[in-house]
Structure 1
Amino acid sequence: MEPVVYLGAVLVVAALAQWLAWALKIPSILLLLILGFLGGTLVSPDEVLGRDVLFAAVTLAVGVILFEGSLTLRLADVRDLGKPVLRLCSVTVVIAWALITAAGWLMGLDPQLALLIGAILVVTGPTVINPILRQLRPTRRISSLLRWEGIVVDPIGAILAVLVYQAVLVGNREDALGTALLTLAISVGVALLFTLVLAVVVEFVMVRHLVPDYLHGTLFLAVAAGGLVGSNMIQSESGLLTVTILGIVLGNRRTLHLEHVKEFYEHLQVLLVGVLFVILAGRVTPQQVLDNLWMALGFVAMLILIVRPVSIWLGLMGTETTRKERLLMSGMAPRGIVAAAVTSIFALELEHAAETVTGERREALVQLAEEAEAMVPLVFVTIVVTVAVYGLGVGRLAERLGLATTNPQGVVFAGSQEWVRQVAGALGELGVPTILVSQDAGELRRARMDGVRTERTNILSDYAINDLDLAGIGSFIAATDDDGTNTSAAREFTHTLGRANVYQVRREDSLQPEDASVTSGIPESASAVTAQGRTAARSTATKQTERTSSSHKLAARTPFRPALTYAQLEERVANGMTVRRTQLTETFTLVHYQERNPDAVLMFTHDGTKASVLTEESDVAESDVTLIALAPPRETGRGRARETGGGRARDTGGGRARDEAS
Structure 2
Amino acid sequence: RLLARGPGVAGWGVVWLGAGVGGRAPRAGPPPLLRFVRPTERLQRVLVWEGSLIDPLGGILGALVFHGVLASGQYGFAEQAAMFCGSAAVGLAGGAAGTALLWLLLRHLTLDEVLATTVQLAAVVSVAAACDAYRDDTGLIAAVVMGIALANLPGLDMPARRSFFETLVSLIIGLLFISISATVTPQSLRHVALPALGLVAALVLLVRPLVALLSTARTDVPRRERWFIGWMAPRGIVAAATASTFSAALAAAGTGGAQKILPATFVVIVATVTVYGLTAVPAARRLGVRRSARSRPLLVGGDPWVIELGRALRSAGLDVLMWAGLDGQRRRITDAGLDLAPGELLAAATGSGAELEGITDVLLLTDEDDFNALAFMTLKETVEGPVHRLAPPTRGHGVVAPYAGSEALFGPGLNRPELAHRYAAGARIVLLPAGEGVPAGHDTLFLVRPDGRLAAATEAGPPAPGAGDTAVLLTPAAPV
Question: Which of the five TM-score ranges fits, normalised by the shorter chain?
Answer: 0.7 to 0.9
Report the residue type matching 1:162 in the other structure: A
Provide the C-alpha distance between the structure 1 equivalents of 2:30 and 2:80, rounded to a whole number of angstroms. 30
Describe the shift of the 1:189–1:507 C-alpha distance in structure 2 as closer, same or farther (beyond 3 A): farther
1:339, distance to aligned residue in structure 2 (A): 0.7
- Please state if 1:610 is matched with 2:471: no
Report the residue type matching 1:602 in the other structure: L
- What residue is the counterpart of 2:243 in the other structure? 343
- Please state if 1:501 is matched with 2:386: yes
- What residue is the counterpart of 1:629 in the other structure? 472
- Please state if 1:414 is matched with 2:300: yes
1:457, distance to aligned residue in structure 2 (A): 1.1
**SS of the residue 2:183 aligns to:** coil
Q: 1:383 aligns with which of 269, 273, 277?
A: 269
Report the residue type matching 2:447 in the other structure: F
1:581, distance to aligned residue in structure 2 (A): 1.9
Contact residue 439 and residue 458 of structure 1 kept, 8 A: no
1:406, distance to aligned residue in structure 2 (A): 7.3
1:506, distance to aligned residue in structure 2 (A): 1.2
- What residue is the counterpart of 1:558 in the other structure? 408
Contact residue 96 and residue 145 of structure 2 kept, 8 A: no
Contact residue 199 and residue 249 of structure 1 kept, 8 A: yes
Describe the shift of the 1:134–1:347 C-alpha distance in structure 2 as closer, same or farther (beyond 3 A): same
Report the residue type matching 1:237 in the other structure: D
- What residue is the counterpart of 2:57 in the other structure? 156
| Runs (5+) with no aligned partner, structure 2 | none
- What residue is the counterpart of 1:59 in the other structure? 8
Contact residue 353 and residue 382 of structure 2 kept, 8 A: no
**SS of the residue 1:259 aligns to:** coil
Provide the C-alpha distance between the structure 1 equivalents of 2:44 and 2:87, rounded to a whole number of angstroms. 29
Describe the shift of the 1:192–1:484 C-alpha distance in structure 2 as closer, same or farther (beyond 3 A): farther
| Runs (5+) with no aligned partner, structure 1 | 1-51, 79-125, 355-364, 512-544, 636-662
1:335, distance to aligned residue in structure 2 (A): 0.8
Contact residue 16 and residue 147 of structure 2 kept, 8 A: yes
Contact residue 399 and residue 406 of structure 1 kept, 8 A: no
- Please state if 1:331 is matched with 2:231: yes
**SS of the residue 1:604 aligns to:** strand
Contact residue 67 and residue 87 of structure 2 kept, 8 A: no
Report the residue type matching 1:368 in the other structure: G
Provide the C-alpha distance between the structure 1 equivalents of 2:464 and 2:282, rounded to a whole number of angstroms. 29
Contact residue 312 and residue 329 of structure 1 kept, 8 A: yes
Aligned residue pair count: 478
Contact residue 128 and residue 334 of structure 1 kept, 8 A: no
Contact residue 447 and residue 465 of structure 2 kept, 8 A: no
- Please state if 1:253 is matched with 2:177: no
1:436, distance to aligned residue in structure 2 (A): 0.6
Q: 1:368 aligns with which of 239, 257, 263?
A: 257
Contact residue 64 and residue 84 of structure 2 kept, 8 A: yes
- Please state if 1:428 is matched with 2:329: no
Contact residue 490 and residue 502 of structure 1 kept, 8 A: yes
1:187, distance to aligned residue in structure 2 (A): 4.2
Report the residue type matching 1:199 in the other structure: T
Describe the shift of the 1:240–1:451 C-alpha distance in structure 2 as closer, same or farther (beyond 3 A): farther
1:193, distance to aligned residue in structure 2 (A): 2.2
1:404, distance to aligned residue in structure 2 (A): 4.9
Q: 1:69 aligns with which of 4, 9, 18?
A: 18
Provide the C-alpha distance between the structure 1 equivalents of 2:387 and 2:197, rounded to a whole number of angstroms. 43
Provide the C-alpha distance between the structure 2 equivalents of 1:387 and 1:257, rounded to a whole number of angstroms. 34
Report the residue type matching 1:409 in the other structure: S
Provide the C-alpha distance between the structure 1 equivalents of 2:102 and 2:171, rounded to a whole number of angstroms. 25
- What residue is the counterpart of 1:317 in the other structure? 217
* Per-residue deviation, residues 402-459 of structure 1 (Å, max 9, x unmatched): 7652747321111133333333333334443221111345554554566532214155
**SS of the residue 1:496 aligns to:** coil
How many percent of aligned residue pairs carry the same amino acid?
27
1:325, distance to aligned residue in structure 2 (A): 5.0
Report the residue type matching 1:60 in the other structure: V
**SS of the residue 2:291 aligns to:** coil
1:224, distance to aligned residue in structure 2 (A): 0.8
- What residue is the counterpart of 1:16 in the other structure? none
Please report the TM-score for the alignment, with normalisation by the length of structure 2. 0.84
Report the residue type matching 2:126 in the other structure: G
Report the residue type matching 2:421 in the other structure: E
Contact residue 166 and residue 179 of structure 1 kept, 8 A: no
**SS of the residue 1:295 aligns to:** helix
Report the residue type matching 1:208 in the other structure: H
Q: 2:139 aligns with which of 235, 239, 255?
A: 239
Q: Which moved more, 1:139-148 or 1:425-434?
A: 139-148
Q: 1:452 aligns with which of 326, 333, 338?
A: 338
1:271, distance to aligned residue in structure 2 (A): 1.3
Provide the C-alpha distance between the structure 2 equivalents of 1:574 and 1:400, rounded to a whole number of angstroms. 49
Describe the shift of the 1:244–1:317 C-alpha distance in structure 2 as closer, same or farther (beyond 3 A): same
- What residue is the counterpart of 1:146 in the other structure? 47
- What residue is the counterpart of 2:291 in the other structure? 405
- What residue is the counterpart of 1:657 in the other structure? none
1:419-568 → structure 2 map (5 Å cutoff): 419-441=305-327, 443-445=329-331, 447-448=333-334, 452-457=338-343, 460-462=346-348, 470-498=356-384, 501-510=386-395, 550=400, 554-562=404-412, 564-568=414-418
Provide the C-alpha distance between the structure 2 equivalents of 1:326 and 1:183, rounded to a whole number of angstroms. 41
1:150, distance to aligned residue in structure 2 (A): 2.4
- What residue is the counterpart of 2:170 in the other structure? 270
- What residue is the counterpart of 1:658 in the other structure? none
Describe the shift of the 1:555–1:57 C-alpha distance in structure 2 as closer, same or farther (beyond 3 A): farther
Contact residue 408 and residue 472 of structure 1 kept, 8 A: no
Contact residue 439 and residue 456 of structure 1 kept, 8 A: no
**SS of the residue 2:253 aligns to:** helix
1:16-55 → structure 2 map (5 Å cutoff): 52-55=1-4
1:618, distance to aligned residue in structure 2 (A): 5.6
Report the residue type matching 1:386 in the other structure: T
- What residue is the counterpart of 2:118 in the other structure? 218
- What residue is the counterpart of 1:581 in the other structure? 431
Provide the C-alpha distance between the structure 2 equivalents of 1:428 and 1:389, rounded to a whole number of angstroms. 39
Provide the C-alpha distance between the structure 1 equivalents of 2:278 and 2:185, rounded to a whole number of angstroms. 25
Contact residue 477 and residue 502 of structure 1 kept, 8 A: yes
Provide the C-alpha distance between the structure 2 equivalents of 1:195 and 1:389, rounded to a whole number of angstroms. 36
1:76-115 → structure 2 map (5 Å cutoff): 76-77=24-25
